[in-house]
Amino acid sequence: MQIAIPGREPIELTHLVLDFNGTLAEDGALIDGVRSLLQTLSAQLHVHVITADTFGSVDLAMEGISCQVYVINTLDQDKQKELYINNIGRNHVIAVGNGRNDVLMLQAAAIGIALIQKEGAYAPLIMVADVLCLSIVDALELLLNPLRLKATLRN
């Protein structure tokens, strides 16, 4: 997926990296509408879900969705997420999250989207994000309509 944003070099996005709890899921269960949107996006992007899996439900929740699930340990979650982004090629990543442990991930990504949903959002995350959305459904639909993303990010 190529995004040509006026005032910036075109960005070739190949990876979508998402936090799980608070982003894709509430209390360990996928938010309504997420499954079908991820299935559609997985035809265009490599989808990665990175999580400490607080509720132990990520594997079951993501079953049947073409994605890579990566479970991290509970120590230095922010640094583990940043390292993951760097390892897959930060210049080709769009990352989505809502928590304190997502700050470095969004900063490392070519495009970072912060979410404010039922779990809320870590306030400083909003300051490092390129885009702020009020739901994961809105964020995923933004990716399916790149002209919307372009309009949000242009000079």
Q: In degrees, to the nearest 5, what angle opens at C-alpha 143 toward C-alphas 89 and 155?
A: 85
- Residues 83, 101 contacting (CB under 8 angstroms): no
- Number of domains, the chain: 1
Element (H, E) at 26: strand 25-26
The Cα–Cα gap between 128 and 141 comes to 21
* pLDDT for residue 54: 85
| C-beta separation of 106 from 125 below 8 A | yes
**What pLDDT is recorded for position 134?**
96
The pLDDT, as a whole number, for residue 103 is 97
Max Cα–Cα distance, the chain, nearest Å: 43
Q: In what order do the strands lie in the sheet with 68-71?
A: 68-71, 46-51, 15-19, 93-97, 111-115, 131-133
| Per-residue pLDDT at 71 | 95
Each residue's pLDDT, cut to its tens digit, for the chain (155 residues) gives 888 887 788 889 999 999 999 999 998 899 999 999 999 999 999 999 999 988 899 999 999 999 999 999 989 999 999 999 999 999 999 999 999 999 999 999 999 999 999 999 999 999 999 999 999 999 999 999 988 888 888 87
- Three-class HEC string of 48-73: EEEECCCCCCHHHHHCCCCCEEEECC
Q: Which domain does 65 fall in, by range?
A: 2-153
> In this predicted structure, what is the pLDDT of residue 121?
95
pLDDT at 154: 84
Residue 63: its pLDDT value, please? 94
CATH of the domain at 31: 3.40.50.1000
Q: Give the per-residue pLDDT at 150.
A: 87
